[in-house]
Amino acid sequence: CVFNSSELKDIQYIRSYCYNKLEFIRFDSNVGRYVGYTELGVKNAERFNKDTSDISAMKAQREAYCLNNVGI
């Protein structure tokens, strides 16, 4: 979670997937979808982005996880 204030609009949820210390795919709540950084990551991002229920669940993590932990 990246945030500048405790307001939901200022909070960014990022979930990165790495292999061998190299980030190959990332979900970014500001973008609202998965983004691939390698050939494998791009293919997986396309597959993950087709699953609308997973995208909705990841977007909800910003409020469910990040907002509750801002004060910690």
H/E stretch holding 39 reads helix 39-49
pTM of the model: 0.83
Q: Is residue 44 within 8 Å of residue 25, measured between CB atoms?
A: yes
Residues of the chain by 3-state class (helix, strand, coil), percent to 5:
45, 30, 25
Q: Which of 72, 50, 44 is nearest to 15 (CA)?
A: 44
The full set of domain ranges for the chain reads 2-65
Residue 46 tokens, joined: 């396309």
What architecture (CATH level 2) is domain 2-65?
Answer: Roll (3.10)
Tokens read off for 67: 């907002």
Q: pLDDT digit string (tens) for 1-58?
A: 888 777 888 889 999 999 999 999 999 999 999 999 999 999 999 999 999 999 999 9
